[in-house]
Structure 1
Amino acid sequence: MFKKLFGSSEPKEKKEKKVLPWLPLQTVRQLDEILERSKTKTQLVFKHSTRCGISRMVMSQFESAYNLDSSADLYYLDLLNYRDVSNEVGYKYQVMHQSPQLLILRNGVVVAHASHGAINEIDLAKYS
């Protein structure tokens, strides 16, 4: 009865957190490189606001669900520290800014994008 009320004193197993192969997106010049690379390999851009609880929650869910066997390149954009890059993403890729946001690029164009909880509904396997 006390274990139910106060919890067990036995240590709980912690899940090992995945470490994703994030590539930092920090310069506007990288946006052209990403477009070029998308012609031969799927490119993912995750725009994240480090001050936003929703963005943090969605990112955590994304990391938990992400398949490490994916062949896509995975870019991380801290949009608060790299506001100019974030602004250019919207202009260059013709996608309205939102946060958090995931963009999928193939063959030189954005083939899918989502924001907030819809990010985790995208079937990334379709684009690999």
Structure 2
Amino acid sequence: MNWNKLTQPSQIEDIKALSEDIPVMIFKHSTRCSLSSISLDRLLRNWKDDDHKNIVPYHLDIIENRELSNKISQEFGIPHQSPQVIVVKNGISVYDNSHFGISYPEIMGVIKN
């Protein structure tokens, strides 16, 4: 999986603009949390090589970028969680889930609608 690193607040506007053409997935990950690592691994095991044609994945390390994580939660009107997946289409969050609720089939279903 070719992650785009999410490290700058200015990238939020880039993500919103990009999501007008193709959905964007943000994975908020804590390197200190075993549940976060398990959720990330589950997502990666299901990820198909061609999925990048249908969704652009971003990875946010919340330990290094906690303020940015909070800004994303505020920008999209969702509570902060970790781990957390947010799918953005047309500039708004259309899916968010956390912990073991993160579901590859649900993510793929949302982007097809």
| The two structures share one fold, judged by TM-score above 0.5 | yes
Residue number in structure 2 paired with 1:17: none
Shift of 1:125: 2.5
What is the CA–CA distance in structure 1 between the aligned matches of 2:81 and 2:107, rounded to whole Å? 19
What is the CA–CA distance in structure 2 between the aligned matches of 1:122 and 1:26, rounded to whole Å? 27
Size of the aligned set, in residue pairs, is 109
Residue number in structure 2 paired with 1:85: 68
Structure number with bigger Rg: 1
Q: Does 2:17 correspond to 1:36?
A: yes
**Which runs of 5 or more structure 1 residues have no equivalent in the other structure?**
1-19
Letter in 2 for 1:80: I
Shift of 1:81: 0.2
Question: Highest relative contact order (Cα 8 Å, sep 6+), 1 or 2?
Answer: 2
- 5 Å-filtered alignment, 1:1-128, equals 20-70=1-51, 71-120=54-103, 122-126=105-109, 127-128=111-112
Letter in 2 for 1:66: W
What is the CA–CA distance in structure 1 between the aligned matches of 2:104 and 2:14, rounded to whole Å? 27
Q: Structure 1 length as normaliser, TM-score? A: 0.81
Identity %: 28
What is the CA–CA distance in structure 2 between the aligned matches of 1:93 and 1:120, rounded to whole Å? 20
List structure 1 runs of 4+ shifted beyond 4 angstroms: none
